Amino acid sequence: MSNGTMHKQPNLAVEIAGIKLRNPVMPASGTFGYGEEYTPYLDVETIGAIVTKGLSLKPKAGNPTPRIAETVSGMINAIGLQNIGIDAFITDKTEFLRRVNTPVIVNFFGNTREEYGEVARRLADVPDVAGVELNISCPNVKQGGIVFGTDPAAAAGVVSLVRKNLGSKPLIVKLTPNVTDITVIARAAEEAGADAISCINTLTGMAIDVKTRKPRIANRIGGLSGPAIRPVAVRMVHQVVQAVKIPVIGIGGIMTAMDALEFLIVGATAVQVGTANFIDPGVMADIVAGIERFCREEGIADIHELIGSLR
Amino acid sequence: MMKNYKTRILSNQEIAPDYYRMKILAPGFGQHARPGQFVMFRVQRSMPPLLRRPFGVFRTGFLPADCDGMPEKEYLEILYKVVGHGTAIMRELHSGDAVEVLGPLGRGFEPGDPQREKILVGGGIGLVPLFMLAEDRVKESPVRLLMGGRTRDDILVVTEFERLGVETYVSTDDGSLGEEGFVTQMLERKLRKYPDAEVYCCGPLPMISAVNTICAAQNVPLQVSLEALMACGVGACLGCVVKGAGHTEEHPRYLCTCKAGPVFHAAELDWHALGTPAADSCEGCKS
């Protein structure tokens, strides 16, 4: 190990809001189930963290089918946040998560401020949960359906209540890109008590079957993900990193280590991999290995030399 | 054990207009694959298509050792119809091309009661998952295959079923091969003759629905293999759900086609919700 930096194991460990990650790679919520689905293909102890599918106060059925459609270099989905509900998650799913030596971040959402607050309260004392990720890309049913994450005051209202109910658990706020200026929402979340920001969620999109003249998914409009959105995501992460002091997790169309490095270089402390998991269930391990190889080749001893190194 | 095989194509051959059969090198695959399971197929290093495509496993086997002393090669074989973007790319692939195959996936057919006749009902490319079932069941029970298609071009590999010792019956909508009419008419006749039979079915949804109506009326046990649009094939994306029996708005019961299926006992499904969408919906989903 003493024969020069090129052969030394680079240090990939990062910290997000007090959560220590062995490397900066984790799944994006909704692409990795509750953690167990991918165990035949991926050793979850090779990645930085597990991020669960989004949970709500009550179980949610999800949308009618078709729920997904492939588009150019991407896919549109409107699964409808189908999930088993927070109580069933705590009872049935944390047993597996307790056994793995990888931090677990629980993603959740609500349709009223009170629902968000209640889920946060129930998660506050669950010892196997390292932190939470708050999805604010949902419509507020009490405010005419305006999406929490598109209005700085509504976003701040949810974040502050969740912050209060969550005790000492780290709070990551996941932002929607479907806004005019994402930095306004990012700052509102930071001021309301977010410990970190993750961005971006899917871009709203639509695809039409020209023969039937119908939308290709039953919900008509869905969320666009995959490599098609990556340049938009890199740009937004770049802007958010400039706007806030808290760490940022970059998300959007990451398929390879090189894609992940783009986000790190513009200043993301970690990244989430989404759609790529569907295509290659072992992809996150490959991305970690690729980042490590890049560091060796570039003579980088610590990943922090790369983070925010944009020239 | 399911696995992501990073492997290559052994052969890719057109067997009827727009229908292809592809052999893929897959050492160790056969010992894990059960009848009715599927694989997620990806053209390596290619984009588009972005997502993998699901294909039923047609059969597994070994290519004999060649004269250069190379050992025998274990393969899995899929059959596909060119219906969209993904399959149009697949038809251009050749022996030696790199592909990835994730599998075997999903729940396959249950063998049923060896004492009872087996009637397999296949429509077009829906014949695929029935081959390994026939291969397995014919060892214990009489097996009959009823195969339907629009024209004779949709009637595939029937002689391979015959070689197993399966009695085969063919119908086409236009009468260009076998009996003129629907495969369901043949099924009604066979069930009169073999009222104790168990039925296994795969094909376009309208056909599966009609088969279910017939079997339900006579209390005949039925297993069906469904197709669905899916992104992951392992139960994570929740894109491929169908409504299970007893599904209501208040108590939703969505089942993942990839994990709870693709084979279901007819009684597990909400047939009203499955309904009878556009007649071409089946072929569209393997685009």
The residues spanned by each domain of chain A are: 5-305
- B286 part of contact set with chain A, CB < 8 Å: no
Chain B residues touching A69 at Cβ < 8 A: 229
Asked if this assembly's ipTM is beyond 0.95, the reply is no
Q: Where are the domains of chain B?
A: 3-105
Give residue B286's pLDDT band: very low, low, confident or very high (50, 70, 90): very low
- What mean pLDDT do residues B141-155 have? 93
CA separation for the pair B89, B135 (Å, rounded): 31
| Nearest residue of chain A to residue B248 (CA atoms) | A61
Q: Considering chain B, what is the average pLDDT of its residues? A: 90
B249 touches chain A (CB under 8 A): yes
**Are A234 and A182 in contact, with CB atoms under 8 Å apart?**
no
Global pTM reads 0.91
Nearest to B177 by CA among B208, B204, B148: B148
pLDDT at B278 over 50: no
Res B275: pLDDT:
64
Cα-based angle B89, B208, B229 (whole degrees, multiple of 5):
35
pLDDT along chain A (311 residues), means of 10: 60 96 97 88 95 93 91 93 91 88 95 94 93 90 83 96 96 97 98 97 95 94 96 98 98 98 98 96 96 96 97 96
What is the structure's pLDDT at A118? 96
Q: Which residues of B113-135 are buried (b: 16+ CB within 10 A; e: fewer)?
A: eeebbbbbbbbbbbbbbbbbbbb
Any A CB within 8 A of B242 CB: yes
Interface residue A36 vs chain B (CB under 8 A): no
Closest listed residue to residue B284, CA positions, set B125, B109, B173, B150: B125
B235 in A contact zone (CB under 8 Å): yes
Question: In chain B, which residues have their Cβ closer than 8 Å to the Cβ of A72?
Answer: 48
The correct answer on CATH 3.50.50.60 for the domain covering A5-305 is no
Six token digits for residue B178: 């076998």
Q: What pLDDT is stored for residue A154 in this prediction?
A: 94
> Average pLDDT in the B251-274 region?
91
Chain B contact set for A59 (CB, 8 A): 252
A41:B236 CB<8 A: no
Specify the pLDDT at position A7.
59
Catalytic positions of A: 138
Q: How far apart are CA B8 and CA B99, in angstroms?
A: 5
Query: How is the beta sheet containing A248-251 ordered, strand by strand?
Result: A25-27, A270-273, A248-251, A196-199, A171-174, A131-135, A104-108, A50-51
Interchain pair A82, B229: CB under 8 A = no
Report which of residues B265 and A143 the model is more confident about. Answer: B265
**Separation in Å, CA of A254 to nearest CA in chain B:** 13
**Residue B136 has what pLDDT?**
95
DSSP A122-186: HHTT-TT--EEEEE--SB-GGGTT-BGGGSHHHHHHHHHHHHHHTTT--EEEEPPS-SS-HHHHH
- pLDDT tens for residues B79-119? 999 988 889 999 999 999 999 999 999 999 999 999 999 99
Superfamily of domain B3-105: Translation factors (2.40.30.10)
